A and B are shown apart, each in its own frame.
Chain A
Amino acid sequence: MTDASISRRALLAGAAGALGSDALRRAGLAQTPDPTKVPGQPTSALGQRSPFERPRRIPSGSGQGISLTPLQDLCGIVTPADLHFERHHAGIPTVDPHRYKLLIHGMVERPLVFDLPALRRFPAVSALHFLECSGNGFASYRRIPPELSPQLVDGLTSTSEWTGVPLATLFREVGVKPGATWFLAEGEDAAVMTRSIPLEKAWDDALIAYGQNGEALRPEQGYPARLLLPGWEGNTNVKWIRRIELADQPFMTREETSKYTDPLADGTARQFSFVMDAKSIITFPAYPVTLPDTGWWEISGIAWSGRGRITRVDVSLDGGRQWAPAELQPPVLPKCHTRFRYLWNWDGAEVMLMSRAVDETGYAQPTLDELRQARGIGTYYHFNHIRAWKIRRDGSVVFGLEG
């Protein structure tokens, strides 16, 4: 998050999901003939997006940086793999799948090495889950800059269908020794990134994932294999995973001590804060969109919780005084983005638009004030406070209520 300084120009370029007429002219597409009067294009080996559509991540442009998913350009719940957000600690490694191996050792009966064919031979599981960097939302916590798009506020979350072998299957294969309580997950990148994970997560729903949205993982998401811990902060989902070591204590790596800990107002710092709490963001209408017209509009957004299913999303048009339930678009899956919609007839008055997610534990997304109260202003991760958009009388939309 340190090098996330992104220019307004980059934002506007990225936010322009569909090309404007100038850009179309430059791309030579201005003179589109009547498609019923000319033969169309032939079949091809690899499909491309329509030349009229240009959704783009916003990259910070370094190997230690981030790129943000264009949430405002997406519909439904699945993130196209080439638009999945990125966060790397030492760039994207090139891992040869033919030389790839995963070593599992430490407090086990049989230390084993699995190559990719061996991993793929185990019974597989596929599941849709969100993945979110725990720093997501930082841009909206200490200050509320009005010129923030959904991509700039919350672009470090994405949803994919992940396919892989349950880590529990591999742990039964190596035989976990009594007394083992944690495991170290280590990546094959230049940071040789490591996190300690409690063993219970392996028995619950952890995967060694090799598939993403029906194909092999993208290099940015850990090709050829990564750890996937549904609902847990992105950093723990170690990419390019090469080694798992079981032990009777956490390893206290850099990423779970000096980073990814949450200093609190009471003079302590919270450690191993794995689960991503319930959260939502309206992705339309949102900056930099301008509503051209009063009348019927569908407010739409995504909600998610690392603790299970979203059970309700409420929408407020008056800055949180009154709330009304939005419709949840099926499927509503645990630890997964859920699309919500709210049909709305705009009369042209100024609107203070908010969404509030509730999950199956009864947890409701807190207000910014409530979260600052509980965590302190200096905290650095897990920013799941309610987001607001102000719609001005001229139809322009800004982030926050002050703009």
Chain B
Amino acid sequence: MRALTAVLVLALLGACGGTKQPARYGFGRLAAAAEIKEWSIDVMPDGTGLPPGSGTPSQGAALYARKCAACHGKTGTEGPFDQLVGRAPREGFPFGRDPSLVKTIGNYWPYATTVYDYINRAMPLDAPGSLKPDEVYSLVAFLLWRNDIIASSAELNAQTLPHVVMPAHDRFVADNRRGGPEVR
């Protein structure tokens, strides 16, 4: 009787398709170090991922005029696309109260490394991924100088860029919405 019950249970399990998931299927292949390196272009706030190279605001100025000004304006304020330069308002962070304020690198971006990461991966719009590390460092240096964040003589590289403290660095808070009756 016990054996019969066991058979029935096994048959039922089979009927339910109760195959156990293996710990691993073994699909896919090991990634080669070279292909990981080729695609790993991300740069983190602590500087992880920044390549060798360097640039200064004056080197960036010429490059900016050639490759960026058509979309972002001669001084980074004219548009027609995203305004990159501007520190107003110097006091406080009233973006939630005042919709007329324009967010720029100088007044809203919390990490300088993000400027490098984004220009490197996505700019210029018509030739993304075409800039060399020295060019990206130069453009970041130019934009941070235009935003009164670094001196005109500053040189940016993998060591100095992560130490640049952005004006909006301390303005960001975690999401406190949790569902439930409260509107946050």
Partner-B contacts on A (CB < 8 A): 89-90, 103-105, 110-115, 118, 121-123, 142, 169, 172-173, 184, 186, 190-192, 194, 242-243, 245, 247, 249, 251-254, 257-258, 261-275, 277, 307, 359, 361-364, 366, 370-371, 373-379
Assuming the A-B contacts A114-B28, A271-B173, are A192 and B122 also in contact, with contact meaning beta carbons closer than 8 angstroms in the complex? yes
A269 & B171 in contact (Cβ 8 Å cutoff)? yes
Residues in A whose Cβ lies below 8 Å from that of B52? none
B28 & A184 in contact (Cβ 8 Å cutoff)? no
Within the complex, the shortest CB–CB distance from A93 to chain B, in Å, comes to 11
In the complex formed, the residue of B with least CB distance to A275 is B177
A252 & B113 in contact (Cβ 8 Å cutoff)? yes
> Residue among B28, B98, B118, B171 with the most chain A CB within 10 A?
B28
20 intermolecular pairs with C-beta atoms under 8 Å apart: A105-B40, A111-B30, A113-B31, A118-B28, A121-B25, A173-B25, A192-B129, A194-B121, A249-B44, A257-B109, A263-B93, A263-B96, A269-B93, A273-B177, A277-B177, A307-B179, A363-B180, A374-B184, A377-B96, A378-B98
Assuming the A-B contacts A190-B122, A378-B98, are A243 and B175 also in contact, with contact meaning beta carbons closer than 8 angstroms in the complex? no
In the complex formed, the residue of A with least CB distance to B36 is A105
How far, in angstroms, from A4 to B93 measured CA to CA in the complex?
A: 27
Residues in B whose Cβ lies below 8 Å from that of A374? 183-184
A169, A190, A194, A272: which contacts B174 (Cβ < 8 A)? A272
**B residues 120-141 in Cβ contact with A at 8 Å:** 121-122, 125, 128-129
B95, B113, B128, B175: which contacts A274 (Cβ < 8 A)? B175
In the complex formed, the residue of B with least CB distance to A256 is B114
Contacts between the two chains (Cβ within 8 Å), count: 175
In the complex formed, the residue of A with least CB distance to B173 is A268
A363 & B181 in contact (Cβ 8 Å cutoff)? yes
Residues in B whose Cβ lies below 8 Å from that of A253? 42, 114, 117-118
The 7 residue pairs across chains A and B that have the minimum distance between CB atoms:
A361-B179, A376-B96, A263-B95, A263-B96, A111-B31, A254-B118, A112-B28
Within the complex, the shortest CB–CB distance from A298 to chain B, in Å, comes to 30
B103 within 8 Å of A (CB atoms): yes
How far, in angstroms, from A271 to B171 measured CA to CA in the complex?
A: 10
Residues in B whose Cβ lies below 8 Å from that of A173? 24-25, 27-28
> Residue among B35, B42, B174, B180 with the most chain A CB within 10 A?
B42
In the complex formed, the residue of B with least CB distance to A101 is B35
Within the complex, the shortest CB–CB distance from B102 to chain A, in Å, comes to 11
A184, A190, A251, A268: which contacts B128 (Cβ < 8 A)? A190
Please give the number of chain B residues whose Cβ is less than 8 angstroms from any Cβ of chain A in the complex: 55
A114, A243, A361, A378: which contacts B95 (Cβ < 8 A)? A378
B42 & A194 in contact (Cβ 8 Å cutoff)? yes
Within the complex, the shortest CB–CB distance from A161 to chain B, in Å, comes to 21
Assuming the A-B contacts A114-B27, A263-B95, are A103 and B173 also in contact, with contact meaning beta carbons closer than 8 angstroms in the complex? no
B96 & A266 in contact (Cβ 8 Å cutoff)? yes
Residues in A whose Cβ lies below 8 Å from that of B125? 90, 190
In the complex formed, the residue of A with least CB distance to B21 is A123
B95, B98, B111, B179: which contacts A359 (Cβ < 8 A)? B179
B114 & A254 in contact (Cβ 8 Å cutoff)? yes
17 more CB-based (< 8 A) A-B contacts, given A274-B175, A361-B180: A90-B125, A90-B128, A103-B35, A112-B29, A113-B31, A173-B24, A191-B122, A247-B44, A253-B117, A263-B93, A263-B96, A269-B171, A270-B172, A270-B174, A362-B180, A374-B184, A377-B97
A113 & B108 in contact (Cβ 8 Å cutoff)? no
B18 within 8 Å of A (CB atoms): no
B14 within 8 Å of A (CB atoms): no
How far, in angstroms, from A378 to B108 measured CA to CA in the complex?
A: 14
In the complex formed, the residue of B with least CB distance to A255 is B118
Residues in A whose Cβ lies below 8 Å from that of B95? 263, 269, 378
Within the complex, the shortest CB–CB distance from A221 to chain B, in Å, comes to 21
B96, B109, B128, B175: which contacts A375 (Cβ < 8 A)? B96
Residues in B whose Cβ lies below 8 Å from that of A123? 21
How far, in angstroms, from A275 to B179 measured CA to CA in the complex?
A: 9
B179 & A103 in contact (Cβ 8 Å cutoff)? no
Residues in A whose Cβ lies below 8 Å from that of B73? none
How far, in angstroms, from A277 to B93 measured CA to CA in the complex?
A: 25
Assuming the A-B contacts A111-B30, A112-B29, A378-B96, are A172 and B24 also in contact, with contact meaning beta carbons closer than 8 angstroms in the complex? yes
How far, in angstroms, from A374 to B96 measured CA to CA in the complex?
A: 10
A192 & B128 in contact (Cβ 8 Å cutoff)? yes
B118 & A111 in contact (Cβ 8 Å cutoff)? no
How far, in angstroms, from A110 to B32 measured CA to CA in the complex?
A: 11
> Residue among B121, B178, B179 with the most chain A CB within 10 A?
B179
In the complex formed, the residue of A with least CB distance to B96 is A376
B16 within 8 Å of A (CB atoms): no
A252 & B40 in contact (Cβ 8 Å cutoff)? no
How far, in angstroms, from A378 to B168 measured CA to CA in the complex?
A: 17
**B residues 6-64 in Cβ contact with A at 8 Å:** 21, 23-25, 27-31, 35-36, 39-42, 44-45
A273 & B175 in contact (Cβ 8 Å cutoff)? yes
Within the complex, the shortest CB–CB distance from A295 to chain B, in Å, comes to 37
Within the complex, the shortest CB–CB distance from A171 to chain B, in Å, comes to 11
In the complex formed, the residue of B with least CB distance to A191 is B122
B41, B93, B114: which contacts A257 (Cβ < 8 A)? B114
A251 & B94 in contact (Cβ 8 Å cutoff)? no
A112, A252, A270: which contacts B44 (Cβ < 8 A)? A252
